[in-house]
Amino acid sequence: MSLFKDEIVGEFLEWKNANPDNFTWWNFVNIKADIDTALAFAKFYSPELLEIEGYCLLKDKFSPNVFEGWKRSCQNNKECVEKMMNIYQIRDFFHINTIDSENENEKFKALGRILKFFWEISFEKNYPEKKLKVHLFEEDDGEFFITVYSL
């Protein structure tokens, strides 16, 4: 199974073409990242959940004030609250360090699929007693979102 085609990352291809016999994704990671970034990505691909008042909420996205607001707006409907509390626009994960590229939407779509894949595995392994749904979707404007909620 391939998570995405190498061609989606032009800089990787440049390095690969310059070093055709011995350049891999591991080499690219070594050039682009450090150990702290790698550890941060471990949390990114395997997020922790909080259980608050019976709601399953992403730890790194949780805000008590936002939670209270969504409980009111959703009239305490668990699925609605969890979907809204846990929703994230894929583009916003990298809004600070993203440069426009010709295949930006393709990259965000690929990242969304990858996050969905790893989140499902992670939640199943780390929260086997929970029945969770990871939902990836595209809005009419072409933006991609991910959320998780209890079934």
**Structural domain boundaries in the chain:** 1-32, 45-150
pLDDT the model gives residue 100 = 63
Cα–Cα distance, 105 to 143 (Å, whole number): 8
What is the widest separation between alpha-carbon atoms in the chain?
59
pTM tops 0.75, yes or no: yes
Give per-residue pLDDT as tens, 18-48: 999 999 999 999 999 999 999 999 999 999 9
Q: What is the mean pLDDT of the chain?
A: 93
Residues 44, 51: Cα–Cα separation, whole Å: 18
Can you give the pLDDT at residue 21?
92
Over residues 115-132, the pLDDT tens digits come to 999 999 999 999 999 999
User: Is residue 143 within 8 Å of residue 137, measured between CB atoms?
Assistant: no
**For residue 98, pLDDT beyond 70:** no
